Homo-oligomer: A and B are copies of this chain.
Amino acid sequence: MTTEDRDSPGPPGGRLLWESRQRPGRGPRPALSLERIVREGIEVADTEGLATLSMQRLAARLGAGTMSLYRYVPSKDELVVLMFDAIIGDPPATDPADWRGSLRGWALGVREAFHRHPWALAVAGSSRVMGPNETAWTEAALYALSGTGLPPDAMMDMLFLVNGYVRGAAQLSVDPAHGPVFDLTAVLESERRDRYPTLLAVVTSDEVTEAYDHRTDRGFEWGLRRVLDGIDLFLTARREPQE
């Protein structure tokens, strides 16, 4: 991380996320717009990484002075949060009658967003105000679960479980810095390599079944199926108390 971690004492206000902005009549017409700034920020983060995103570079790209951006955004952190909510977008439709299919689509949607915008993973990991879109995703997942008859906190937990898997798996298969996720060269060259016999056997094995590759959608879905199976088992057992 290069320290990209923005973790300030308190999360940003999020006023821009939730309050409706209206332009007052007075004053010159703004040359930029919040939307354009956010869009360009996403573009930079996508192509060159979040770490290289600076207010000066962003302003230059927009043909504006650095400080002009601060007429639209109170701070860089707030901008990043806005970028995050923007790329998350709208959740897919979910159906309480089909929690499994709904959660599957939901999970694939989250994963896709993280794959398209690797920097978003780091943002998701920071404490922040949830934006309208992210909240809508939460709502969609809970709605999908609302047909299961689970108590509220158990629903929340299902969400944590699925969300946890999606995030973790994405983190392992997405590289924020456009490099290899697992760099094992150091291990292989180390004189201590015999401390890791199983790992070396696995890594050097020629036997590669594509179905399991987590960098592919199929690999991701394979793991997701295990998670949903686990949930299913729980729900079934719950419906039929003693067998």
Using a CB–CB cutoff of 8 Å, the interface residues on chain A facing chain B are 1-11, 14, 17-18, 20, 49-51, 76-77, 80, 119, 121-130, 132, 135-136, 138-139, 142-143, 146, 151-157, 160-161, 163-169, 171-173, 175-184, 186-187, 189-192, 195-199, 201-203, 205, 207-209, 212-214, 219, 222-223, 225-231, 233-234
Residues of chain B within 8 A (CB-CB) of A184 are 130
Residues of chain B within 8 A (CB-CB) of A207 are 151-153
Residues of chain B within 8 A (CB-CB) of A151 are 205, 207, 209, 212
Q: With the chains together, A30 CA to B136 CA distance in Å? A: 56
Among B136, B142, B191, B225, which residue has its beta carbon within 8 angstroms of that of A230? B225
Flag if B161 contacts A226 (CB, 8 Å): yes
Q: With the chains together, A189 CA to B71 CA distance in Å? A: 25
Interface centre among A154, A161, A183 (most CB of B within 10 A): A161
Copies of this chain, tallied across the complex: 2
Residues of chain B within 8 A (CB-CB) of A165 are 161, 164-165, 168, 227
Flag if A234 contacts B229 (CB, 8 Å): yes
Flag if B11 contacts A6 (CB, 8 Å): no
